A and B are shown apart, each in its own frame.
Chain A
Amino acid sequence: MSDLHTELKKSIIEQLNLEDMEVSDIENDEHLFGDGLGLDSIDALELIVLLEKDYGIKLTDPNQGKEIFNSINTMAAFIEKNRTR
């Protein structure tokens, strides 16, 4: 697991108030929404804020979100490719 994967999991747990959840509880390929981690639409907005705040990435097309926020793996790949900080 890369540092970025771990960092993302920590940020998600903290930003989304996923109490009682630890980094090791989140699988890299686990779905973040729906049956996986069970995040909701407000969480999706928080993830968009997280991308901008921590990695300088501004999502211009909301439709991209579904693909990017599929799992920790997809988020990390997108961040690696587009980060400005």
Chain B
Amino acid sequence: MKQLFIRNSVLIRNSKVLKNGQLLMQEPEDLQLSKFLKNIYKERKLKYPKFFKMDRLSKLGYLGAEILTNGQIEDENTALFFANSASSLQTDEAYAESMEEFPSPSLFVYTLPNILLGEISIRHRLNSENIFFVFQDFDAGLFVDYVSTLFSQGKTENALCGWVNLHNNDYDVFLWEIALSGGIDFNEEELKKLYLPTHE
């Protein structure tokens, strides 16, 4: 098994944005999610009008990836491995509501969680392996096993991983990069440490 490393990580949680443990941004806890997301977009000086068309789950993933990579993924074969527990339920519910009158096409296209991966792939022009799992809880072991297998099979030399969960506007975002060199050892224990500090 190849030795892998966690290069950078990002947390978006409780109206805060942290990169590699450093607080980048903090907003009032009672700020609406939609405003919080827009504020991150503006604060980071992003220029990607498609952002405004995304559902909130994709916005969270897109913003996390932008912050994690500083807007640049150099390797177009960077694999994406993401998971959450609520799938795309929040958008599914909004779409179901719209069906009572006029079903919304722009909501419909986001009624799958892996659309988030499509958004990141389009933004960074990736042609790579990607998968989105739905687990009950954050499962560090599964991330380690799956990503290690991808690297061992020679399918990728870089990976962008994430737990991007959203339900009833409660969100929990944790993204990190895996590479063959640099950073912290990629194992279950280290991954849990990065995920858990502010998650209490």
Interface range on chain B (Cβ under 8 Å from partner): 10 to 19
Which chain B residue lies CB-closest to A48? B105
Count of chain A residues with Cβ under 8 Å from any Cβ of B? 13
- B195 to nearest A CB, angstroms? 32
The contact of A49 among B38, B53, B102, by CB within 8 Å, is B102
Cβ-defined partner of A17 (8 Å) among B52, B102, B103: B52
Chain B residues lying within 8 Å of A19, measured Cβ to Cβ, are 38, 49, 52
| Complex alpha-carbon distance, A17 and B49, angstroms | 9
Task: Say how far A62's CB is from chain B's closest CB, in angstroms.
Answer: 13
Contact A18 B106 (CB under 8 A): no
Give every chain B residue within 8 A of A18 (Cβ-Cβ).
49, 52
Q: Once the chains are docked, how many angstroms separate the CA of A81 from the CA of B17? A: 52
Task: Assess whether B131 is interfacial by the CB under 8 Å rule.
Answer: no
A46 contacts which of B38, B52, B101, B104 (Cβ < 8 Å)?
A: B104
Give the complex CA separation of A45 and B53 in angstroms. 14
- Whole-angstrom CA separation of A76 from B105 in the bound complex: 22
A49 and B104 form a contact (CB under 8 A) = yes
Are A49 and B105 in contact (CB-based, < 8 A)?
Answer: yes
A6-36 residues with Cβ-Cβ distance < 8 A to B are 16-20
Measured between beta carbons, the chain A residues less than 8 angstroms from B105 are 42, 45-46, 49
Contacts of A38 in B (CB 8 A): 49
B109 interface hit (Cβ, 8 Å): yes
**Is there contact, CB below 8 Å, between A46 and B49?**
no
B 90-107 contacts with A by CB, 8 A? 101-106
Nearest CB on B from A30, distance (A) = 16
Is A52's CB under 8 angstroms from B102's CB?
yes
CB of A14 to closest CB in B, whole Å = 11
20 of the cross-chain contacts (CB-CB < 8 Å) are A16-B53, A16-B106, A17-B52, A17-B106, A18-B49, A18-B52, A19-B38, A19-B49, A19-B52, A20-B49, A42-B53, A42-B106, A45-B106, A46-B104, A46-B105, A46-B106, A49-B103, A49-B104, A52-B102, A53-B102
- A17-B106, A45-B106, A49-B104 known, 10 other contacts, Cβ within 8 Å: A16-B53, A16-B106, A18-B49, A19-B38, A19-B52, A38-B49, A42-B106, A42-B109, A46-B106, A53-B101
User: Which residues from chain A sit less than 8 Å from chain B, CB to CB?
Assistant: 16-20, 38, 42-43, 45-46, 49, 52-53
